[in-house]
Homo-oligomer: A and B are copies of this chain.
Amino acid sequence: METRELRYFVAVAEELHFGRAADRLGIAQPPLSRTIAQLEHRLGVALLTRTSRKVSLTAAGAVLLAESRAILGAVAAAERRTRTVDRPSLVLAAKAGGSGELLAKLLDAYAAEPGAVEVDLLLCEAHTSQPLLDGRADVALLHEPFDSTAGLDVEPLHTESQFAIVASSHPLAGAERLRMADVADLPELVRWPEPDGSYLPGPGVEVHNLTQLFQLIALGRAVAVMPEVVRPGLGEGLAAVPVVDAPKVTTVIAWPPHSRSRAVADLVRVATGFS
């Protein structure tokens, strides 16, 4: 299996449409059809079921899609790491708006290290682990249990409890403390995007980032349960009420398991040092 075939397959599996997939790949549709057919032939398994109106994934196709994404991510990561080995630098992914203070402390402490290299920040709206898997980043600050840490090495840094963020005018804003049951079935709960950027069907507003979320909450259109770190970022018109039985959130530093980078090891050591 060549990465070209995997790229082609991922495009078709994601679009579920040969024409659009070919378009996205910048090639014509017939060679794409042919390549997928060859791939299926060599594997001896059907990856897609096609009628002339609809394309869908088989079980084998679903497996290969997941595997292919991981592989293509690893290839991109390998490429970047190979390219940048001579001019060392470090890309740190973090959630925009989250863990501001921790991040500042970490960057300062690391910069004071002997042999520290330049650190580039990659601020994500959501799915902070994604850049780690596709090679855009070397290290990430993640929040368990929200972010997936599958396939990554992690060290916990900090654990904190969660708060309900509501509009000041919301009936719950005056409460001393809340329980999950108090917020679990409010109609104003929101939906975050899936890793591929799509949204599962269901009730609640589709939300892209924290700023947008806070605006919605201030307007009384949404309610969210979030860790303590976001509190300093709350503006006017928002209130944070402790949710005593919400799961604790752990901030972890994560990196790819095979990382041999001196810089990553230093940063992790510094981070765990003052946790």
Contacts and interface: CB of A to CB of B under 8 A. Distances in A.
A128 to B, nearest CB: 17
Nearest to A79: B1
Given A258-B67, A258-B151, A60 B82 contact: yes
A152 B3 CA distance: 23
Interface stretch (A14-22, A68-76, A179-187): A68-76
A67 B134 CA distance: 13
A2 B83 CA distance: 16
A264 to B, nearest CB: 12
B71 A74 contact: yes
Chain A, interface size category, equals 35 or more
A27 to B, nearest CB: 16
A59 B86 contact: yes
A78 B1 contact: yes
A150 B153 CA distance: 8
A63 interface: yes
A37 B71 CA distance: 24
Contacts of A258: 66-67, 70, 150-151
Contacts of A2: 2-4
A78 B68 CA distance: 7
A64 interface: yes
B60 A86 contact: yes
Contact of A43 (B64, B71, B82): B82
A66 B86 CA distance: 16
Contacts of A64: 78, 82
Interface string A74-115: 110111011101100000000000000000000000000000
Contacts of A150: 153, 257-258
A77 to B, nearest CB: 7
B260 A63 contact: yes
Interface of A: 1-4, 43-45, 47, 59-60, 63-64, 66-68, 70-71, 74-75, 77-79, 81-83, 85-86, 150-153, 256-258, 260
Which A-B residue pairs are the 5 nearest by beta carbons? Answer: A67-B78, A151-B257, A64-B82, A60-B85, A150-B257
